[in-house]
Amino acid sequence: LLLGIFRFGFLIQLISHPVIKSFIIASALLIALSQFKFLFDIPLQTNNVPEFLVSFWQYVRYSNFATLALGITAILFLVYIPAFLNSAFIKTRAGSLIFLIRALPLLLVIVSIGLMYFLNLQQAGIKTVGEIPSSFPPIAIPHWNMQMVIDLLPGAALIAMISFVESLSIAQATALQQRSNLNSNQELIALGLANISAGVTSAFPVTGSLSRTVVNADAGAR
């Protein structure tokens, strides 16, 4: 928050484009690898590529093929159905279906919920999110003292730095893709306010999400 108020957003300009591009690619790779444990329903180590390969070799034989089949079907749906609806063949007959294309991820979620409920796919070993608390988290000012601040400051500074780089990197990449202007100071202020809100609601530190930003951008978010 203070970085945004005192207009330190210019710091992102000191990071070269190749560095930002490499950071985004590496983050995307780790995010993709982290999803394999859900796709195969096996415990995988996804902190780095070597650990992932070793754990994948160890546990791949325990994969849940029902979960794998459902996951692959969903991936194929999200890849090929938008391409089909956006093809010249469909456009000449039905016109632009951009709204339907953007709503496909939501449609997939609704259909998958229906399949889980009516076909009782949990019996096949497919896991669900489970019960989600319906109430809001309690709002309270965290207890702290100076010793706690000293102990947590190094880790908090590192988290803040990574959050800064990740959030502004994906924001800059999205701005370039959409050919829009990026107000880095405004991004920092929003990030700071979000983390203050997280602090009083017992939430995790907040940062810009690579995967969710891409999904929102594809859905037409600005």
For the whole model, what pTM was predicted?
0.73
Instruction: Tell me the average pLDDT of the chain.
Output: 82
Mean pLDDT over 105-127 rounds to 89
The CA distance from 103 to 44, in Å, is: 31
**Close Cβ partners of 45 (under 8 Å, ≥ 6 residues apart):** 51, 52, 54, 55
Helix axes 49-59, 17-34, angle to 10 degrees: 20
Examine the pLDDT at 6 and tell me if it is beyond 70.
no
Q: What pLDDT is recorded for position 212?
A: 78
Residues in the chain: 222
Helix axes 17-34, 210-218, angle to 10 degrees: 90
The confidence band for 209, taking pLDDT boundaries of 50, 70 and 90, is confident
Render pLDDT for 35-77 as a digit per residue (tens, 0 to 9).
899 999 998 887 788 888 899 999 999 999 999 999 999 999 9
The CA distance from 65 to 78, in Å, is: 20
What is the sign, positive or negative, of the torsion defined by CA atoms of 76, 81, 86, 91?
positive
Render pLDDT for 141-183 as a digit per residue (tens, 0 to 9).
878 888 888 888 888 888 877 787 778 777 777 777 777 777 8
Q: How far lies 170's CA from each of 21, 34, 61, 62, 82, in Å?
A: 9, 19, 36, 36, 24
Examine the pLDDT at 3 and tell me if it is beyond 70.
no
Per the CB < 8 A criterion, the answer to whether 63 and 95 are in contact is no
| Amino acid (1-letter code) at residue 90 | I
Render pLDDT for 127-139 as a digit per residue (tens, 0 to 9).
888 787 777 777 8
Per the CB < 8 A criterion, the answer to whether 67 and 127 are in contact is yes
Q: How far lies 9's CA from each of 151, 154, 163, 188, in Å?
A: 27, 22, 13, 7
Per the CB < 8 A criterion, the answer to whether 198 and 204 are in contact is yes
> 95-108 burial string, b = 16+ CB within 10 Å, else e?
eebeeebeebbeeb
Per the CB < 8 A criterion, the answer to whether 101 and 86 are in contact is yes
